[in-house]
């Protein structure tokens, strides 16, 4: 499978709209994106200006969807809250608004953990691609298994890059639930990575004193671990569902994945440049995030991030 094609990303209006029947939408954009058939493209007005300042301000200061992970460690243990349950509650109760991502407060270190749906879906696509090709993700435990029931496991990962420039990213993850434990509802909230890339490295990381923004590489790594732990018996036992049940990142359905692909490849934003000339460009990250949350509000949790009847590597990733 060709890497460039799988991750292709049109950069010009001609690439976005060329050869397609072009429609326009000023309101109810998510609905109109969802309704696009395979030979159609869409032009929309600017919803977040492209200049770096505006985009950055929105991603830093826009409304966030806050996950209910409980207030205290004992409350989390008592409620047995899984990330999945927290995603469900948040997504079923979305108020109208423009959202810039989801966030939760870690229970042990009191850090804010931030994730965009955009990175969550891109990470799932990266994981799917590594499963479909010879470019596998690799992992190994980083510590012995004493106290993993209390602190979670530490793992090293090597994740292939989506661009030709870089070969692989190295990551370490800690506070990963890996064995059955009453502390898992606490452990997952503190999940953290040591990793550097262009996504983690810039854009929006200083909203809070202590915060961590997750990227697609980290999402792909944990989705791989969930699969790997189930398949192998080195960590604990074969058929281990714990890392899967405590995946902190929402995994998209095929419908959601295809909606995201449409946003990436067939939507053009019309704007005026400094000379007042009409131009078109692809959606920026802030705009994609707003339209992803609009789709969750429109379709609800089930069709967007709910139970799946397919593996993500079996999705049709072409929109």
Q: Is 215 a binder of Zn ion (CB under 5 A)?
A: yes
> How near is the Cβ of 195 to Zn ion at its closest, in Å?
6
Q: Are strands 267-272 and 168-176 parallel, antiparallel or unpaired?
A: unpaired
Distances (CA, A) of 77 to 71, 113, 186, 189, 292: 11, 19, 7, 12, 31
- Residue nearer to Zn ion on the CB measure, 193 or 315: 193
Which span (19-27, 41-49, 51-59, 207-215) binds Zn ion, by CB under 5 A? Answer: 207-215
| 22 vs 43: CA distance, rounded Å | 7
Rg (CA), the chain: 20
- Could you tell me where the DSSP H helices lie in 3-116? 3-6, 13-17, 29-35, 52-61, 73-79, 83-92
| 100 vs 115: CA distance, rounded Å | 9
- Residue nearer to Zn ion on the CB measure, 30 or 215: 215
Site string for Zn ion, 27-46 (x = CB under 5 A): --------------------
Which span (52-60, 98-106, 137-145, 213-221) binds Zn ion, by CB under 5 A? Answer: 213-221
> How near is the Cβ of 160 to Zn ion at its closest, in Å?
12
> How near is the Cβ of 158 to Zn ion at its closest, in Å?
13
Helix (H) or strand (E) holding 216, with range, is helix 216-231
Q: Is 319 a binder of Zn ion (CB under 5 A)?
A: no
Dihedral of alpha carbons 195, 197, 199, 203, sign: positive
Quick check: helix, strand or coil at residue 160? Answer: strand
- Residue nearer to Zn ion on the CB measure, 25 or 197: 197
Q: Decide if 101 contacts 115 (C-beta within 8 A).
A: yes
> How near is the Cβ of 249 to Zn ion at its closest, in Å?
13
Q: Is 203 a binder of Zn ion (CB under 5 A)?
A: no
Site string for Zn ion, 217-246 (x = CB under 5 A): x-----------------------------
Binding Zn ion by CB under 5 A: which of 22, 43, 85, 197? Answer: 197
> How near is the Cβ of 193 to Zn ion at its closest, in Å?
8
- Residue nearer to Zn ion on the CB measure, 63 or 203: 203
| 316 vs 319: CA distance, rounded Å | 8
Strand partners, 280: 270
- Residue nearer to Zn ion on the CB measure, 215 or 247: 215
Structure tokens that stand for 248 in this block: 């902190």
Residues that bind Zn ion (CB under 5 A): 197, 199, 215, 217
């Amino acid at each position: 499978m060709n890497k460039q094609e799988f991750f292709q990303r049109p950069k010009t209006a001609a690439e976005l709209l060329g050869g397609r029947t072009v429609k326009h939408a000023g309101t109810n954009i998510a609905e109109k994106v969802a309704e696009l058939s395979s030979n159609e493209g869409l032009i929309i007005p600017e919803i977040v200006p492209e200049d770096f300042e505006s985009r950055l301000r929105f991603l830093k200061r826009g409304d966030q969807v806050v996950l209910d992970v409980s207030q205290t460690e004992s409350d989390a243990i008592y409620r047995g809250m899984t990330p999945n349950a927290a995603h469900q509650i948040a997504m079923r109760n979305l108020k109208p608004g423009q959202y810039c991502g989801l966030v939760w407060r870690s229970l042990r270190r009191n850090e804010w953990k931030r994730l965009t749906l955009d990175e969550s879906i891109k990470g799932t696509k990266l994981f799917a691609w590594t499963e479909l090709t010879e470019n596998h993700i690799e992992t190994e435990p980083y510590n012995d298994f004493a106290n993993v029931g209390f602190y979670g496991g530490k793992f090293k990962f090597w994740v292939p890059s989506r661009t030709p420039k870089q070969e692989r990213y190295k990551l370490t993850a800690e506070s990963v639930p890996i064995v059955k434990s009453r502390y898992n509802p606490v452990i997952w909230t503190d999940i953290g990575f040591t990793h550097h890339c262009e996504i983690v490295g810039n854009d929006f990381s200083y909203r809070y004193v202590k915060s961590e923004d997750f990227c697609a590489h980290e999402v792909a790594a944990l989705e791989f671990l969930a699969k790997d732990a189930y398949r192998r018996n080195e960590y604990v036992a074969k058929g281990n569902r714990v890392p899967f049940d405590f995946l902190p990142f929402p995994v998209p359905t095929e419908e959601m994945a295809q909606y995201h692909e449409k946003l990436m490849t067939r939507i053009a934003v019309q704007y005026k440049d400094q000379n007042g000339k009409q131009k078109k460009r692809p959606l920026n990250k802030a705009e994609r995030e707003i339209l992803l949350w609009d789709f969750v509000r429109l379709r609800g949790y089930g069709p967007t991030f709910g139970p799946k009847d397919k593996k993500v590597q079996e999705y049709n990733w072409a929109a």
